[in-house]
Amino acid sequence: MEAEGIVFDIRRFSIHDGPGIRTTEFLKGCPLRCRWCHNPEGLNPGLEMMFWPRRCLGCGACLLACPQGAISQNGSTVSTDRSKCTLCGECVAVCYAEARQIVGRRMSVAQVMAEVARDLPFYDESGGGVTLSGGEPLAQPDFVRALLRACKKKGIHTALDTCGFAAWEVLDSIREYVDLFLYDLKLMDDARHRQCTGVSNALILSNLQALSRCGHAIVIRIPLIPGINDDEDNLRQTGVFAAALPHLLRVDLLPYHSMSSDKYSRLDMTYPLPATRPPSAERVAEIAQMLREFGLEVTAR
Ligand code: SF4
Ligand code: SF4
């Protein structure tokens, strides 16, 4: 049977997820809970209801449509009891304000490849391709393997944007279909990593070393989060670790931004870093320079 997966977004004409113009597929589900996550709709492996209170007209159509009685209204405030919601989509169908959306769609490899086929001319002209991101794509290993294999059969360049938290056997079974790994490195201290992401970094670091020993093309991506991983000690340990890898193309710094905080409220989640502000351009440049002193090629967005 053809592998299926849950995709929450397909972004065309992406220019930040690998070389050239790319189609980025965002897969649902992630084993980490990074406090700064900017794709909270990618955390849960299943489908979810998203609600935009600002778009809601208070018309009450969704209350009448819901067969579970999951939606209630108090004045102009409409809320959904997620424990009752079966994600049937009836409320989405009647909401003309587009205030409701079910996030995530079950797709076959053929369906994703049909989307990808629309962008083939752009890949040829720009040296682009397909990037699998998330969530954490390796949380859906069979789907990811089948997608990557389908891309390679068509000669499409592939990139995998990963946090690296997966059994080595999973990575080993897909790595031959990956042209470029975009590999997240967040924190070097294990206790701090557990505190800020919910998991140990031991597997992440050992997988990165193993991929590098195998000679893969790797770009390390560091999300720069003020007060979390931008201290001298962490940056120095990161520089030492990265410089010791036998194969590494580059380090990309991804400065924190809070543009995703609204997404949390649309999912009835609490944004974990309400007081954190983006680092200044000067600080980002300083950090890039510090990492270059380890002999690394470093870019910052
Ligand atoms: S149908 Fe849409 S606009 Fe009307 S109350 Fe429900 S969410 Fe609001
Ligand atoms: S998706 Fe279905 S069950 Fe869930 S709130 Fe909407 S109508 Fe009710």
What stretch of H or E contains 184? Answer: strand 180-184
Which atom of ligand 2 lies closest to the CA of 88? 2
Using only the alpha carbons of the chain, give its radius of gyration.
Answer: 21
Residues 68-78: what's their mean pLDDT? Answer: 95
For residue 97, which ligand has an atom nearest its CA?
Answer: 1
Q: Per residue in 142-154, pLDDT tens?
A: 999 999 999 999 9
Question: What is the Cα–Cα distance from 269 to 29, expressed in whole angstroms?
Answer: 16
Chain position carrying tokens 């800020």:
196
Residues 35-40: what's their mean pLDDT? Answer: 95
What pLDDT score does 246 carry?
97
Check if the beta carbon of residue 180 is closer than 8 Å to that of residue 221: no
Residue nearest atom 8 in ligand 2 by C-alpha distance: 66
Domains parsed from the chain with CATH numbers:
4-45+104-300 (3.20.20.70), 48-102 (3.30.70.20)
Q: Is the CB of 71 under 6 A from ligand 2?
A: yes
Check if the beta carbon of residue 223 is closer than 8 Å to that of residue 279: no
CA–centroid distance, residue 50 to ligand 1 (Å): 12
Check if the beta carbon of residue 136 is closer than 8 Å to that of residue 161: no
Residue 74 scores a pLDDT above 90: yes
What pLDDT score does 258 carry?
82
Phi-psi region of 189 (alpha: psi -120 to 50; beta: other; left: phi over 0): beta
Residue 259 scores a pLDDT above 80: yes
Check if the beta carbon of residue 145 is closer than 8 Å to that of residue 176: no
Residue nearest atom 2 in ligand 1 by C-alpha distance: 95
Residue 1 scores a pLDDT above 80: no
For residue 85, which ligand has an atom nearest its CA?
Answer: 2
Q: Per residue in 160-187, pLDDT tens?
A: 999 999 999 999 999 999 999 999 999 9
Q: Per residue in 213-252, pLDDT tens?
A: 999 999 999 999 999 999 999 999 999 999 999 999 999 9
Residue nearest atom 7 in ligand 2 by C-alpha distance: 66
pLDDT above 90 as % of the chain = 96
pLDDT classification of 284: cutoffs 50, 70, 90: very high
Check if the beta carbon of residue 106 is closer than 8 Å to that of residue 130: no
Question: What is the Cα–Cα distance from 257 to 39, expressed in whole angstroms?
Answer: 12
Q: Per residue in 80-122, pLDDT tens?
A: 999 999 999 999 999 999 999 999 999 999 999 999 999 999 9
